[in-house]
Chain A
Amino acid sequence: QKEVEQDPGPLSVPEGAIVSLNCTYSNSAFQYFMWYRQYSRKGPELLMYTYSSGNKEDGRFTAQVDKSSKYISLFIRDSQPSDSATYLCAMTPGGSEKLVFGKGTKLTVNP
């Protein structure tokens, strides 16, 4: 079983839809959870960060972590064509430990 599993998609939705992106993980030591957004031919950029379990909201984006289920989600409300990108989950036990990435989900929001 891979440490981090993420459905690669692709996912195609109409503009204005609510998008749900998910990752599961197997390492119970993970404490810090992130979502990165990567536009085509660009480097990944940090979008959302969550420590331990709970929700975090930032504008149209909500990140959820359920440590009991080893499951994290990113919700995008009122999706826009500019949200079209690959979304990668990442997580780490913390300290100086490296980030472990999911494979990324390619999202297309159609006008």
Chain B
Amino acid sequence: DTAVSQTPKYLVTQMGNDKSIKCEQNLGHDTMYWYKQDSKKFLKIMFSYNNKELIINETVPNRFSPKSPDKAHLNLHINSLELGDSAVYFCASSQDPGRYGYTFGSGTRLTVV
């Protein structure tokens, strides 16, 4: 019973393609996040949704578009992929970040060639 599951785990694609990453959580949390982790392991927040409503939208290119069909799902669509988009993308969920922190998925390793 994976708490936060992401698919796919690995994604290799060519520059200019469009791709999607899916995330689902079965914890009943209200808030979900997308983080990008670069090669130096720095975790940077991209988006946050609370019960399907976008609440955090950091400085991210318009090519990245999140979609939350319901509070258990948060997907990330990326248009016109660039080499610099290569990274590990983590989905996370939380009920109360201060008290309980986040539960992370296992990540999607995206490689753009």
Query: What residues make up the interface of A, taking CB atoms closer than 8 Å to B?
Result: 8, 31-32, 34, 36, 38, 41-46, 49, 51, 86, 88, 90, 92-99, 101, 103-104, 106
Contacts and interface: CB of A to CB of B under 8 A. Distances in A.
B97 interface: yes
Contact of B102 (A94, A99, A106): A99
Contacts of B41: 8, 38, 86, 88, 103-104, 106
B107 interface: yes
Contacts of B13: none
B74 to A, nearest CB: 14
Nearest to A88: B43
- Please tell me the size bucket of the interface on B: 20 to 34
A3 to B, nearest CB: 12
Interface in B17-42: 31, 33, 40-42
Most buried by B among A49, A93, A96: A96
B86 interface: no
